[in-house]
Amino acid sequence: MFFRVLSGECLKLKRTLALWMALVSPLLMVLLQFGVSFKGASVFLRDGKDAWPPMVRQTVEVWTLLMMPLFVTLETSLLAGLENTGKNWKSLLALPSPRWTVYSAKLVVAIALLWAAHAVLIGGTIVSGLLLQLLHPALNLGNIPLSPFIPPMLRVSVSALLAVAIQHWVSLRWQSYTAAMGFGMCAMIAGVFASQSAALGSWFPWSLPIRAVMDGAAGQDRITALAVGGAIVAASMGCWEFVKREIA
Amino acid sequence: MPDCVISTDAATKLFSGKPAVRNVSLRVPTGSIYAFLGPNGAGKSTTIRMLLGLLRPSCGGIAIFGLDLRRHRNEILAHTGSLVETPSVYEHLSARENLEIPRRILDAPRSDIDRVLRIVGLEIASRKLVGTFSLGMKQRLGLAQALLGKRELLILDEPTNGLDPAGIQEMRSLIRQLPAQHGVTVFLSSHLLTEVEQVATHVGMLSQGELVFQGTIGELEGRRRSYLRVGVGDIESAWALLKARGWCVSQSNGYLVSSDTGAAAAMNRTLVEAGIAVHYLAVESASLEEVFLKMTQSEVN
């Protein structure tokens, strides 16, 4: 039953802004990075050294710090909005599928869209780097550096799970788009500040991805455990509340 | 199949301690079109949401197809289609895509989409985006969703809400054919008896959260009271005269009205002998709508 519900949720994405965002947000980031590298290449010129590492680091950091929290907030709100705007809950929940399948299918879609955006970001950055190699040889771009790029993005993908699970719960809990957006924005700002403190940033859900980038592989085990464990707890609590909820 | 598709046992729903629905014991016979009537705010939608498992009864029980709703929710909903108030549709998807979502959940064959589109007459518009549909078309799409799969019961909450007269007529004829042609029992709510009296076989009337009548349309007809309506030249004098002679009469819309239908000739003679012109005299029956209003309003008052 879960997979039947999930396939229905995937169909709902057709022609939605939520689906387009998974493509457009990372590509916007790639485009900005490309523009900066092309026109303001001095930022990355380091005495003939390969410009790939600083470019990639900047891409990962800006995405993690700013774009991703916004993306998570918007995506989860838009996904919940599919049901909230048309008051569709009553007919969706009157279908013969256990409610937990609806909640978890929507969460899986939210996570899948985030990871798809990460895949687009990685692919787009590589393509833009190859283009820059042709158009701007002064950048001295060598081989595509997978190690400073792919592992951090994987760490970010995993450490964002807790924030996604919480934001998903909030978006489904309150039908108001504003409430979910307000919550996400406040959490994002708090996350930026909290990440400046090693002690606080290692616990705050919205700081975990930032710390995953800042701390590197060293602190990843603890961050992964916290993000995955926390996401399971948040998803279970949200699911429990959703199953009990009355649709008036 | 049990005799009653829906059977509730003193179902009650409290909101913040206040009862929205009180001790409602419905009996919806298999194969019937059961009209669930009541003025706005009587508790119809709350009852329907309880029947669909969207709200939990505060006390009392609900059985559908003879199964307890709390324990067999998914089994029951697999055979229960619903349309609750406005149709729930995804406007960015086509009609066919809108039907594909519940079809996947119901695990119904793909051909079922064509079947229900044919029933509701949306075959031609099936690939159009639902955002471009009129309310009537959306309502028909909602009905198509409710008919997907092997549905034995349809629960329709105010299915004609917002429709124009042509749309109402269309929906009515669609509903009328369902039990005979598709073997479906229909439970539909409305706040207007006139809207459903042509299609319903059974009626339940709700007033202030309580079931004030339940039975067949024939039984409801039996509640229609006959009365004598008298049109006279001088209504005040006529009323005073008849009262003085011991008849129980009242004034209504410029006529004298009496429940004593056997006294028509005597009243006529009395009025004529007193020099009061009688221009109308007839024994009439209350319409079903009047019966409905009397039942529901007497509760309110």
Chain B CA closest to residue A247: B54
The residue segments making up the domain with residue A234 are 2-244
Closest by CA position to A139, among listed A54, A62, A60, A63: A54
Which among B94, B103, B105, B107 is the top mutation candidate for probing chain A, defined by the most A β-carbons within 10 Å of its own β-carbon?
A: B105
Q: Sort out which chain B residues have CB atoms less than 8 A from A96's CB and list them.
A: 73-78, 105-106
Mean pLDDT of the A116-129 span: 90
Q: Is B300 contained in some domain?
A: no
Long-range contacts of B71-74, Cβ-Cβ distance < 8 Å, separation of 24 or more:
B73/A96, B74/A96, B74/A97, B74/A98
pTM to 2 decimal places: 0.84
Using DSSP, how many helices (H) and how many strands (E) does chain B show? 11, 15
Q: Is B126 contained in some domain?
A: yes
Least confident of A69-73, A206-210, B83-87, B139-143: B83-87
The structural domain count of chain A equals 1
The structural domain count of chain B equals 2
If one compares B166 and B297, the residue with the highest pLDDT of the two is B166
Whether B257 and B146 share a structural domain? no
Nearest to B49 among A95, A96, A248 (CB): A248
With a cut of 80, say whether residue B81 has pLDDT above it. yes
| Tens digit of each residue's pLDDT (9 = 90 or more) over A62-101 | 898 888 999 999 999 999 988 887 678 888 999 999 999 9
Q: Does residue A89 contact residue A83 with C-beta atoms inside 8 Å?
A: yes
Percent share of chain A, pLDDT over 90: 42
**Is A94–B142 a contact, with Cβ atoms under 8 angstroms apart?**
no
Q: Is B247 contained in some domain?
A: yes
**CA angle B259–B264–B268, rounded 5-degree value:** 130
Whether B156 and B212 share a structural domain? yes
- Please tell me the distance from the alpha carbon of residue B152 to that of residue B94, in angstroms, as a whole number: 26
A106 CB contacts (<8 Å, ≥6 apart)?
Answer: A9, A79, A80, A168, A172
Mean pLDDT of the A136-159 span: 80
Q: Is B296 contained in some domain?
A: no
**Is A97–B102 a contact, with Cβ atoms under 8 angstroms apart?**
no
Chain A CA closest to residue B20: A248
CATH of residue B269's domain is: 3.30.70
Whether B162 and B116 share a structural domain? yes
Whether B141 and B188 share a structural domain? yes
- Please tell me the distance from the alpha carbon of residue B78 to that of residue B63, in angstroms, as a whole number: 14
Whether B177 and B217 share a structural domain? yes
pLDDT band at B301 (very low <50, low <70, confident <90, very high): very low
Closest by CA position to B175, among listed B140, B221, B218: B140
Q: Is B295 contained in some domain?
A: no
pLDDT band at A222 (very low <50, low <70, confident <90, very high): confident
Whether B127 and B273 share a structural domain? no
Whether B138 and B174 share a structural domain? yes
**Is A1–B55 a contact, with Cβ atoms under 8 angstroms apart?**
no
Whether B129 and B247 share a structural domain? no
- Please tell me the distance from the alpha carbon of residue B69 to that of residue B52, in angstroms, as a whole number: 8
The residue segments making up the domain with residue B243 are 226-285
Q: Is B120 contained in some domain?
A: yes
Chain A CA closest to residue B106: A96
Q: Which of B222, B244, B269 is the last residue of a domain?
A: B222
Closest by CA position to B131, among listed A85, A24, A109: A85
| Tens digit of each residue's pLDDT (9 = 90 or more) over B189-240 | 988 777 777 888 999 989 888 998 899 888 887 777 788 899 988 889 899 9
- Give CA separation, A36 vs A47, A61, A126, A181, in Å: 18, 15, 15, 30
CATH of residue B17's domain is: 3.40.50.300
**Is A96–B78 a contact, with Cβ atoms under 8 angstroms apart?**
yes
Q: Which of B222, B245, B261 is the last residue of a domain?
A: B222
Tokens, residue A24 = 């457009």
Q: Is B290 contained in some domain?
A: no
- Give CA separation, B294 vs B91, B109, B201, B256, in Å: 42, 48, 21, 19
Whether B178 and B237 share a structural domain? no
- Please tell me the distance from the alpha carbon of residue B49 to that of residue A90, in angstroms, as a whole number: 8
pLDDT band at B158 (very low <50, low <70, confident <90, very high): confident
